[in-house]
Structure 1
Amino acid sequence: MNGRPISGTSVGARGSARRRGTKGLFAVASGVTLLLVTACGGGGGSDSGGDGKGKSADSAADKNAPSTAVVTVAPKDGAESVATSGALKIAADKGKLSQVEVEDSKGNPVPGKITSGGATWTPAHHLAASTKYKVHAIAKDSGGRESAKDTSFTTLTPKNTFVGQFTPEDGSKVGVGMPFSVHFNRGITAPEDVEKAIEIKTEPSVPVEGHWFGNDRIDFRPEKYWKAGTKVTVNLNLDGVEGRPGVYGEQAKTLKFTVGRSQVSTVDAKSHQMKVVRDGKQIKKIPITAGAPGTTTYNGRMVISERLQVTRMNGDTVGFGGEYDIKDVPHAMRLSNSGTFIHGNYWSGGAFGNTNASHGCVGLSDVRGGYSKKTPGGWFFNNSLIGDVVVVKNSADKTIQPENGFNGWNMSWEKWKA
C-alpha cells in the first residue's frame, strides 16, 4: 500500500463485500461458461476421435437414399416381334452396370459381357426366333447404391426360314480328311453372321476355319489333316440368324464326332498301284486300274464321302451317254460329286496293276455282288471310313476342284482362310 491511508473504511468494507459478491457471481458464471464450452467441445470432438454418432447417422442416411444410377433396357418391357439381332441394348446412366442376366423361357442364359467400363452390356450373339426373354440388370452409382430393372420381351416369328444339311452326322467316327460341311437350302447373303453362328471346338485344341463354296455351302477344317483321335463338338446355333433379308435360320443343336485312325491311300495312275498307309505305316499295296486315255482320273487329294455295298452306275448320269450301265457295282466309295468313285471291279480282267481302263474311277479287283471281304475291293471297303483320304497322282488329268466333293485339301491354307 506504500503507507497510503485508505479513506472511508466503512465504504471500503462495503466495497470489499461487493467485490467479493461480484467475484462469486463471476465464478458461477464462469462455471456455466465452462460447462457450455465443455459441452460444445464434446460435440466438436467427434471429428477428432469422438463416438461419431452424427457422422454415422449421415452415412446411414446416404446409404438409404435412392440410387442415382439408372438402368435402361431396349426393347421396352412387354415388346413383341423384336428383331433377333441388334435390338437388345442394356445400359446404365449415372452409374455402372454390375450384373446382367438375360435368359429364355426355359432358363437358358444368353451369354454377353459388360462393356465400355460398365456403361453397356452386349450379347455375344443373336437371339432365337419366337422366344420370350427375361432381363434382370443391376447398376451401382458412385456411392455403391444399387438400382435394378426387370423386363421381358418376345422375338419375332419368321415367315421364311432356311436350314442346313450337315455332315458328318452326330456320333460319327470319320477319317482324318473329313471336314464339317453344311449345305443350305437357300442362298446366304449374310455369310459372316451365319458362319459366326457355327462354333467348332476340338480336343486337342486346333484352329479350325470355314470356307464358303458359293453362297449355299460352308466347310470347316484345320490347316492339316485332323490328328487321329480328335474329338470335335459343333454348336449349330442358326435359330434366329437372318441369313438373307427376311429369311431366318431355324436349327439349334449340338453334335459331336470323333476322328478315327489316320488312313491315307495313294493311287499312282502311272504304276497302277495303290499304297495304303495307316498311322504312318504302309499296311497294304493293291493293284488298281485308273481312267483310260480320254476318260482320265482326276489328280489330287480326295475324301471318301459315301460308302455303298452295291450300287448302279450309269454313264447317262455323268455325261457318258449309254457307254455303260452296270447295275451291281460292288464296294463303291464316292470321291467326288461329279461321279468319281473308288470301287470293286469284276469286268476288267487283267487290267489291275497293268493298264488304265476305266471311265475315270479307280477300280480294284472284286467279285459280282460285293459279298467278299477278301478281294482287294472288299478288303479296302471294309478297312475304310467316310473321311479317309485317297490321293491320286501321275494321272494325265487336272487336279480336282476343291468344291467337287469334300476336297478342300487341294486349296492352300491362305486361300482357304481368305
Structure 2
Amino acid sequence: MIRIAGLGLVALLLAACSGQTETAGAAQAVGAAGAPGTATVPGVPAATVAFEGGDQLSPKDPIVVKASGGTLQAVTVTNPQTGNGVKGDLSPDKTTWTSTDHLRYGSTYQVAATAVNQAGAATEQRGEVHTIKPSGVATPALFQSASGDFGVGLIIGLKFDHDIADKAAVEKSFKVTSSPAQDGGWYWVGKREVHFRPKEYWKAGSTVKLETTTFGMPIGGGVYGGQDVSATYKIHDSWIAKADGKTHQIKAYHNGQLVKTAPTSMGKTANTPPRGPTPTFNGTHTVLGKEDHKIMDSCSYGVCEGDPGYYKAPENWNVRISNDGEYLHENLKTVGVQGSDNVSNGCLNMNTENAKWFFDTFNVGDVVEVTNSGGPQLAINNGHGDWAISWSAWQAGSALHG
C-alpha cells in the first residue's frame, strides 16, 4: 500500500534488484532540503514530485522518485521499522532518483523528496511505500560450499527451506556458467532440493559459477524467493578410480593415465551370518570427505549394540564415498583376501600403504566408479549418486523439460 502527502501521485517503477539489505543509519539525502511545502514565483510553475509504479512493491524492485518541471534537490528514504536508510542514485539530469539498496519483505518505507523549479522555488513531497508480505519466504542454501577446489565429479545445487510449488519459474531464475563452456542441466531431487551436473564429468581446470536470482519472485502458494546465493567452484585435475568387484582391483587414473593399481576387498555378497550380504553399491561415487582416523560404528546405519553384526572399530585413512557408510580405508584384518575376495561390510578395504596413497591423493569431487560389486545402484540421495542417472533421465528431471 502507498500513502502520500503533499503534491503528486505515488507509485513504483519496476526494475531488477536482489538480496535483502539496507544501509544502517540515516537515509541518504540528495542536496539540501528546502522548506516544507511549496514556494511560488509568479509566472513560473511549481515543480512536482511523483513516486512512480504501483501498489505493494516487490522488494527486488527499486523505489523511484521523479520530478517534473524542475530537478530533485533532496531525497530521503527510511525504514522506521529498522531505523535504516536506503541509498540511491540520482540521474545525470537530476530528475530521477532510484534506490540501490535491497529492500525487505513486509516493510514500510517513508519517502521525503524536495524538488525545485526553474526559479529555485521548492516543493516537498512525502509518502509511504509498502513492500509485499508473503505467506512464506523460501531461502536457498548451497548444496556444496565453494571452499577449496574440487574433482571432475562435483555435483552442485541448492536446498530450499520451503517446498517449491512453481519449480519451472524457480529453475529459470538459476544461472550456471562454466569456463570452458559445458552442456549441463538441473534435476529436482524433491520438493526442496535441486542438483546440477554436466552431461559428462567437468573438464579438468574448469571454473563453474552458480547464481540465483530468486529473491522477490512469487514461487507458488503465496511463497516468495529469499536471499540469493552464489558460488564459484574451481575444478582441479581429473582423478578417477575404477574399482572392479570381479578382479578385486582398484585402479587410479590421473588425467586419463593409469598411475596406481591396488588390491581391494569390497562388501561381501555371500549370505553369511550374522548380517548376510553387505555388497558395495554399484555405480559412480564421488568423494564426499576424508578423515585420517575414525571410529567405524555400525549403529550409524541402524545396526546397534546387541544386534547381529554390530561392530565398532577404529579405522585409518578413510575416504568417504557415500552417505551410507561406504569408505575407501585401511583394514589390516582383510589384507589376506584383498585382491581375491569381497568380505567387507560395504567399504573398499586396502592395506596401509595403498589406503594412505588414496587418502593423500583423492579429494572432494574426485570420482570412484564401482562395477561388478553385486550390490544395488547407488541412489541419488546416498551421497552423489547423480552420475548413475542416464543423461536422458537427468534431463527429464528438469522442471523445464520433464
TM-score (norm 2): 0.64
Distance across 1 between alignment mates of 2:217 and 2:254: 41
Aligned to 2:161: 185
- Check the 8 A contact 1:128/1:239 in 2, yes or no: no
Gaps of at least 5 residues in structure 2 are: 1-10, 15-50, 63-84, 90-102, 112-126, 270-276, 397-402
Distance across 2 between alignment mates of 1:211 and 1:106: 39
3-state SS of the aligned residue for 2:243? strand
CA RMSD of aligned residues (A): 3.3
Q: Mapping of 1:16-55 within 5 angstroms?
A: none
Q: Spell out, residue by residue over 1:197-224, the C-alpha distance to the aligned partner (whole angstroms, 9 max, x if none).
A: 2211111112221100111211101110
Pick from 387, 390, 395: which aligns with 1:412?
A: 390
Pick from 158, 176, 180: which aligns with 1:200?
A: 176
Distance across 1 between alignment mates of 2:157 and 2:319: 18
3-state SS of the aligned residue for 2:322? coil
Aligned to 1:350: 336
Q: Mapping of 1:19-418 within 5 angstroms?
A: 77=52, 81-83=56-58, 129=105, 155-158=131-134, 160-293=136-269, 294-322=277-305, 323-366=309-352, 375-418=353-396
- Check the 8 A contact 1:269/1:395 in 2, yes or no: yes
Distance across 1 between alignment mates of 2:210 and 2:56: 29
Distance across 1 between alignment mates of 2:146 and 2:343: 39
3-state SS of the aligned residue for 1:347? helix
Post-superposition shift, 1:298?
Answer: 1.2
Distance across 1 between alignment mates of 2:318 and 2:220: 38
3-state SS of the aligned residue for 2:333? coil
1:248/1:325 Cα in 2 relative to 1: closer, same or farther (>3 Å)? farther
Bigger drift between 386-395 and 186-195 goes to: 186-195
Gaps of at least 5 residues in structure 1 are: 1-71, 89-103, 109-126, 135-150, 367-374
Q: Which amino acid aligns with 2:265?
A: T
Bigger relative CO (Cα 8 Å, ≥ 6 apart): 2
Q: Count how many residue pairs are aligned between Structure 1 and Structure 2.
A: 291
Post-superposition shift, 1:256?
Answer: 0.8
Bigger drift between 207-216 and 236-245 goes to: 236-245
Distance across 1 between alignment mates of 2:161 and 2:216: 16
1:350/1:414 Cα in 2 relative to 1: closer, same or farther (>3 Å)? same
Larger radius of gyration: 1
Q: Spell out, residue by residue over 1:328-372, the C-alpha distance to the aligned partner (whole angstroms, 9 max, x if none).
A: 322222222222222222333412212111111112223xxxxxx
Distance across 2 between alignment mates of 1:165 and 1:248: 15
Q: Which amino acid aligns with 1:397?
A: G
Considering fraction of residues, name the structure with more helix: 1
3-state SS of the aligned residue for 2:52? coil
- 4+ aligned runs moved over 6 Å, structure 1: 72-76
Aligned to 1:95: none
Q: Which amino acid aligns with 1:296?
A: P
Q: Which amino acid aligns with 1:394?
A: N
Q: Which amino acid aligns with 1:310?
A: H
1:172/1:247 Cα in 2 relative to 1: closer, same or farther (>3 Å)? farther
Q: Which amino acid aligns with 1:350?
A: G
Post-superposition shift, 1:83?
Answer: 4.3
Distance across 2 between alignment mates of 1:176 and 1:152: 52
Post-superposition shift, 1:249?
Answer: 3.2
1:329/1:162 Cα in 2 relative to 1: closer, same or farther (>3 Å)? farther
Post-superposition shift, 1:74?
Answer: 6.6
